[in-house]
Amino acid sequence: MSYPSDPTTPHRRAGKAFQAARFAAALAWAISSRLLADSSARGLTTRLNVDVWQPFLSGIFLLFLLGIGYFLLETIARRPASMRSVLGLPTRSTAGEEWLTGAAIGWGMVILAVLPMALTNRLHVTFWTEPGTLRLLIANIFSVAAASLAIEVIFRGYPFRCLVDGIGPVAATLCMTVLYALAEVMVNGASSTGVLVALLMGVLFSVAWFRTHGLWLAWGMHFAWTASMGILFGLPVGGRHHLSVLVATIARGSRWLTGGRYGPEAARFTLVALAIGLVVLVRVTRDYAWNYTHPPIVPGGYPMEAKPPAEHVAMEQAAQSRPPALVQILPSTPQGPTVNHPPGESSRQPSSGT
C-alpha cells in the first residue's frame, strides 16, 4: 500500500527546492505545535486540577496539530491523502501485528541492556505502594504511548518522507538521525555515549520505517523501549525518573555498564543491545518489506511481438480458404428391419395371394 510522499509511489517527483521547502515547513510546524500543545495542556490540567494527565494531553494535542498541519501541506502540494496516511499510520490488516512486533523488539533490547547490571548485582530496587500509585501508573502508560508516537511522527513521519523525496533515503536518514541526537542533547543533556545511543536509535527507527513504510513498528519499539526502561524497571530515561512511580531502581557501578545518573541510554553496553536489535529487526520484517516496500511493476520499453513463420501463415490462410467439409447426419430412427434373418432367406415379407 502506498501513501503520500512514499518514495515508491509512481507519482511525478517535484524538484529538490520544493521538497526542501516542504521539509522546512513541516519541521517548523512541528516545533510550533510542540510549544502550543505544551502550553494548552498545562493550562487545561491546571484549571481542572489533573496535573498527572498533562503529559498525555500534551501528546494528544501535539498529534492533533501535527495531523492538521501536515494534511494542509499535502493539500497545498496537491497530493490528496487521508489524515492517517499523512501521520504515517496507513490502514492495513497487519497494523496491530507490526506494533506488537516492534514492542517485542523494544522490550527485548531493554532486557539485553539491563541484564548485565542484574547479573552483576548493580541494581537496587525500591517499590512504591503509596495511594494513587495505580492512577499515576495508568497515566504514565498513556503518556508514553502518545509521546512516543508524536516523536516518531516528527522524526520518521511526514518531514522525514519529504526529505527522502528530496535527497534520498540514506542522506535523509543521516540528517534526521543527527537532528534526533541533537534534540536529545538539548532536552536531556546527553553525554557522548548518550549521543551515540541516540544516533543508533535514530537509525534503528528509520530502518523500521523503510522496512514497512509505516510507523506502526517504530511506534511499538519506541513505546516498549521507554515503558520497559522507565515504568517496568524503574530506571532513568534520558536522565529523568519521571516514569518510576511503581518501581524505582538505582544502578551503581561503572558508567559504561549502567550509564550513571543518565540511565542505560548512556551506557556503552546499550550500543550492543541496539545493534542486536537492528539485526533482529531486519530479519523479522522480511514479509513486511516484501508486501509494503517493493514498487509496483510498471510496463515499459518497446512491444516485443514475434511474428510467426511464413509456413505457419500459409497453412493458416489455406485452412481459412478451404471450404468446410460436409458432415453427414444419419437419421435418428432405423429405416430397415430390426430382425436379423439367417443367410439365404430373403428379408422381404411374402405377399399374400388371392
Q: What is the pLDDT of residues 12-45, one digit of tens each?
A: 445 788 888 889 999 999 999 999 999 999 999 9
DSSP conformation letters of 42-79: HHHHHHHT-GGGHHHHHHHHHHHHHHHHHHHHHHHTT-
**Structural domain contains residue 99:** yes
Q: Which residue has the cell 495508568?
A: 138
Residue 304, domain member (yes or no)? no
What whole-number distance in Å separates Cα of residue 250 and Cα of residue 132? 22
Residue 278, in any domain of the structure? yes
Residue (of 238, 276, 284) closest to 102 by Cα position:
284
Domain assignment of residue 171, yes or no:
yes
pLDDT at residue 127 is higher than 70: yes
Question: Model pTM?
Answer: 0.78
Cα–Cα distance measured from residue 228 to residue 102, given in angstroms and rounded to the nearest whole number: 13
pLDDT recorded at residue 321: 78
Q: Is residue 302 part of a domain?
A: no
Q: CA triplet 350, 353, 354: central angle to 5 degrees? A: 160
Report the distance separating Cα 194 and Cα 198, nearest Å: 6
In a domain, 27, yes or no: no
Do the beta carbons of residue 288 and residue 212 sit within 8 Å? yes
Distance CA 139, CA 243 (A): 10
Domain with 201, as residue range(s), is 94-292
Rg (the chain; Cα; Å): 36
Average pLDDT over residues 209-215: 94
The domain tally of the chain equals 1
**pLDDT in the model for residue 4:** 43
Is 55 part of a structural domain of the chain?
Answer: no
Residues 264-281 pLDDT 10s: 999 999 999 999 999 999
Q: For residues 19 and 163, is the Cβ–Cβ distance under 8 A?
A: yes
* Top-confidence residue, 30 or 192: 30
Q: Which of 22, 19, 24, 56 is nearest to 37 (CA)?
A: 56
Burial of 61 from C-beta contacts in 10 A (0-12 / 13-18 / 19+): buried
Nearest Cα to 174, choosing from 164, 184, 187? 164
Partnered with residue 127 across adjacent β-strands are 247
Per the domain annotation, does 305 fall within a domain?
Answer: no
Distance CA 220, CA 173 (A): 19
